[in-house]
Amino acid sequence: MSVVARLAGLLLFSACLLMLQACGSGGEKQDPDSKLTVNLNQPVSTGANAPGLFGYETANISADISGGVAPYNLTWFMGGAGEDQFTALDAAGTTSISVKWQDLAASVTYRMQLLVVDAAGNTVQSNTEFLVSASQDVCRISIDSLTYSDGLINVFGSDPNGGALRFEAAIESSEISISGPFNETATSAEFIVKPNDVLAGGNFTVSVSAYCASIDYFGASDSVSGSFDAFPLADDTLYAIATQTHAAVGEPVRIVVATGLTKDPLMYLYEFGVVCDSGAMYKLGTFDIGQVDENPAPELPIDGAWIQNHAAAFLVTADSQIGSTDLKNGFRRTRFNLTPTFASDARISGALFNFEYIFRQPGVYTLGFDAENASPHTCYLDRTITEEHFWSDISNHHIYNTIVVE
């Protein structure tokens, strides 16, 4: 190779090397004279006593980064104010972290340091000092016990200072609903969890948070999981199913009336009687055909057991025709009639209808059917309307046949 050719090759290599040095990752042009700089800012309080910095409260700490070669790795040395933190920044600009100061009996001055390393290995640091004052109204509470059983969540907490607690619960599921708190004390509460469709069941996780009641300050949180099995429907058996097993006085409880696969074809429900202990009252306007749904029209959508006999419409029982009668034996009977139109005779299973009870006083309420009176008969009719068909079992013995009202 000639000397001229070798010199030309060296010049080309040098030119390429200069181009690579002038480019950052991703091909973005970098200024080789741009110096990496960082400015660590003073903490900004986000605590209950902001703008002051106080022990056991929170703050944001930000830093401004410019120059150098992105991306950047950051190490936040807290100087005893908290755990050291490690973050990354993809491009020059402002970044921040959130910290919670220690519980302090006296004021403390902290010295923080931020170490920044860019993609080219350049290193720079920035320091700041700040004063964190002694803790104020500190919420040191904890959740000591959180359990779920039979539709009921129990939570117990404590506060070393002897203060009262407040509890909240949240659930992320369209299949499950939660209500409460109930039976609250200074350190405990209960929440009721119920499936929106007892016949379908479902899994759930509930998050419970505890607050210091006196200063409305968040203290602790925990979560508990559970499940509802899909309710089993035995053949030719009739059920009145409470969608929740616990309630407060005056709280409406949805009742689902369902059947296992009927022995005979079913088309009409005639003089149908649901009974419950005295004190349970039918809530006007809550009658709904089929399974529980959000449609305000009681006959729509056509769902539940009625899909199986292809019902196209219904003659809906008016509230004025849903009468409650005192049976003089400690129970009240609520009477329903239900007539589908353009349906066919079929053996069906599933939800027949649902409605709500309201309970006027505390107690244990048991659901059932009227089997002793001549009318209603708790029976169904086929298309011929010439023979009454009775379920093989209307005893209603199952886990959702009672509601505890407190």
pLDDT value of residue 6: 38
Identify whether the C-beta of residue 288 lies closer than 8 Å to the C-beta of residue 300.
no
Domains in the chain (CATH in brackets) are 37-132 (2.60.40.2410), 142-228 (2.60.40.3450), 238-405 (2.60.40)
pLDDT (0 to 100) of residue 28: 42
User: Cβ(358)–Cβ(281) under 8 Å?
Assistant: yes
- SS3 per-residue string spanning 317-341: CCHHHCCEEECCCCEEEEEEEEEEE
**Contact criterion met (CB below 8 Å) for 64 and 57:** no
Return the H-helix or E-strand segment holding 17.
Answer: helix 3-21
Sequence-distant (6+) residues with CB within 8 A of 17 are none
Residue 378 tokens, joined: 């708790």
Exposure letters 264-273 (e unless 16+ CB within 10 A, then b): ebbbbbbbbb
pLDDT value for 141: 85
User: Residue 193's closest CA among 207, 176, 168?
Assistant: 176
State the Cα–Cα distance between residues 158 and 165, nearest whole angstrom.
8
Determine the Cα–Cα distance for residues 165 and 217; give it in Å rounded to an integer. 10
Whole-angstrom distance, CA of residue 202 vs CA of residue 259: 20
- Ramachandran region, residue 360 (left: φ > 0; alpha: ψ -120 to 50; beta: rest): alpha
pLDDT at residue 22, rounded to an integer: 38
Q: How far apart are CA 88 and CA 93, in angstroms?
A: 12
Cβ neighbours of residue 404 under 8 Å, at least 6 residues apart?
Answer: 245, 246, 247, 364, 365
Cβ neighbours of residue 300 under 8 Å, at least 6 residues apart? none
Q: Cis peptide leading into 32, omega within 30 of 0?
A: no
C-alpha to C-alpha distance for 195 and 399, rounded to whole angstroms: 14
**What's the confidence (pLDDT) of residue 26?**
38
DSSP H/E element including 257: strand 253-259
Q: Chain centroid to CA 223: how far? A: 10
pLDDT of residue 382: 86
- Tokens representing 85 are 């933190």
* CA–CA gap between residue 50 and residue 59 (Å, rounded): 9
Taking residue 242's Cβ as centre, other Cβ atoms within 10 Å add up to 25
Does the predicted TM-score (pTM) go above 0.85? no
Give the side-chain half-sphere CA count within 13 A for 356: 13
Beta bridge mates, 258: 239, 351
Task: Please check whether residue 259 is in contact with residue 305, taking contact to mean a CB–CB distance below 8 angstroms.
Answer: yes
The tokens for 225 are 């999981």
Going by C-alpha positions, the residue among 301, 324, 311, 297 that lies closest to residue 269 is 311
Determine the Cα–Cα distance for residues 171 and 224; give it in Å rounded to an integer.
10
Rounded to whole angstroms, the Cα distance separating 335 from 323 reads 6
Structure tokens at 350: 């599933």
Kindly tell me the sign of the dihedral angle through the C-alpha atoms of 214, 218, 220, 225: positive
Local structure of residue 133 (DSSP, 8 states): B
Binned average pLDDT, 10 residues per bin, the chain of 406 residues: 39 37 41 83 90 91 96 96 95 95 91 96 96 82 91 92 89 83 94 84 90 75 89 94 90 94 88 89 91 85 90 77 78 86 87 93 93 66 85 92 93
pLDDT of residue 277: 94
The answer to whether the beta carbons of residues 69 and 30 sit under 8 Å apart is: yes
Please tell me the predicted confidence (pLDDT) of residue 43: 97
